[in-house]
Amino acid sequence: ILGAGFVTSQPTFVRAEEAPVASQSKAEKDYDAAVKKYEAAKKEYEDGKAAQKKYEDDQKKTEEKAEEERKASEEEQAANLKYQQELVKYIRENDPTKKAEAKKAMDEAEKEYKKKQTEFAEVRAKVIPSAEELKKTRQKAEEAKAKEAELTKKVEEAEKKVTEAKQKVDAEHAEEVAPQAKIAELEHEVQKLEKALKEIDESDSEDYVKEGLRAPLQFELDVKQAKLSKLEELSDKIDELDAEIAKLEKDVEDFKNSDGEQAGQYLAAAEEDLVAKKAELEKTEADLKKAVNEPEKPAEETPAPAPKPEQPAEQPKPAPAPQPEKPAEEPENPASAPQP
C-alpha cells in the first residue's frame, strides 16, 4: 500500500527476493555507532600495547642472542685451545705408544672443536631485528607508552557509552514486547473466564444462582475482551505499517538508482508516502503504548439516537371569516332628472 497520491504505473526493476526489513530505530543506530567507536578505541589501545610488547620481545631476542653468542664463542675458543694443545703434544711425542694415545686425544679435541664451531655458527645465524628495526620498534613503543593513559580513558569512555546505548536499546525492546506480553496475558485471562462461564452454564444450579455467578464474570470478560481487541487491532496495524515502510524505503532506493524518465516523479511520491507512513506508525505506536497502560474498562457501546419528540397532530386551519357584502355599485354617470 503506497498511500494516497502514489502513481500506480512504475518502471520495471529487478528486485531482491528477500523480505523487506524495517529500518533500525534511533536507539539501535546509536548503539551500533557506540560499538564501532569502542572497537576503534580498543584496537588503537591494543595496537599500542602490541607495539610495546614487540619492542620488549625484540629487545629480549637481541639480548638472548648476544648472550648465547658470547657463550658459544667462549666454548668454541676453549675447544680450539684444547685442540691446539693436543696437537702440540702429538707433534712432540716421539714414543710410538704414547704418540698413538696423543693422536687419539688430538682427534677427540679436534672433533669437539668442530662441534663447537658448528654451534657457534648456528647461534650467529639466528635472525633477530636489525639495529635500525629495533630503533623504530622502540620509538613506536615509547609513543604508545606515552599515549597509554589517554587511550585507556578513551576506551573506558567508549565502553560506558556502549553500556548506556545498550540500556536504551533494551528499554526500547522492552517497550516493544510489552504489548505482546500484555496481549498474551489477556488471552490467557479471557480463556480462563470463558472456561469458568462454561462451567457455570453446565452446572445443575438454579437459573437465578447461575445468573448471580455469571454477572461479575461476564462483566470481567467483557472488560478483558475489549482491551484485548484494542491492543490486537493496534498491534496488527503496526505490523502492516512496518511492512509498508520497509517496502517504501526499498522503492525510494530503487527510484534513486533508476534512470527512467519518470523516476524523479516516482521518487517524490514514494518519499512523500514514506514520511506519511512513518508519522502514522509513530502515532500508532504511541497509541499502543498508551493503550497497554490504560485501566481496563468495558467497550463503549454506541448510544442509540434519542427518540425525537412526537409532533402534535396538525390542527385543521380555521375557515376564513365571511367577507361583508359590497354595496351595489352606483352608475358612474346617473341619468339626469327630467326638467319640469
CA distance 217 to 208: 15
Which of 186, 269, 204, 282 has its CA nearest to residue 241? Answer: 282
Listed in sequence order, the residues at least 6 apart from 188 whose beta carbon sits closer than 8 Å to its beta carbon are none
Q: 12 versus 335: which is more confidently predicted?
A: 335
Instruction: Tell whether the model's pLDDT for residue 318 goes beyond 70.
Output: no
Strongest mean pLDDT among 14-18, 247-251, 264-268: 247-251
pLDDT of residue 26: 87
Question: Of 2-16, 231-245, 321-335, which range is least confident?
Answer: 2-16
Q: What is the pLDDT of residues 52-100, one digit of tens each?
A: 999 999 999 999 999 999 999 999 999 999 999 999 999 998 898 999 9
Is domain 23-175 annotated with CATH 1.10.10? no
pTM: 0.48
- CA separation, residue 255 to residues 205, 241, 270 (Å): 70, 20, 9
Q: What is the pLDDT of residues 8-49, one digit of tens each?
A: 333 333 333 343 445 678 889 999 999 999 999 999 999 999
Instruction: Tell whether the model's pLDDT for residue 189 goes beyond 70.
Output: yes
pLDDT of residue 299: 60
Q: What is the pLDDT of residues 124-151, one digit of tens each?
A: 998 888 889 989 999 999 999 999 999 9
Mean of pLDDT over the chain:
83
Q: Are 52 and 103 within 8 A, CB to CB?
A: no
Break the chain into its structural domains and give their ranges.
Answer: 23-175, 203-298
Work out the percent of the chain whose per-residue pLDDT is above 90: 57
Instruction: Tell whether the model's pLDDT for residue 281 goes beyond 70.
Output: yes
pLDDT of residue 13: 32
pLDDT of residue 259: 81
pLDDT of residue 314: 53
Listed in sequence order, the residues at least 6 apart from 294 whose beta carbon sits closer than 8 Å to its beta carbon are 227
Cell digits for 204? 445443575
Instruction: Tell whether the model's pLDDT for residue 201 goes beyond 80.
Output: yes
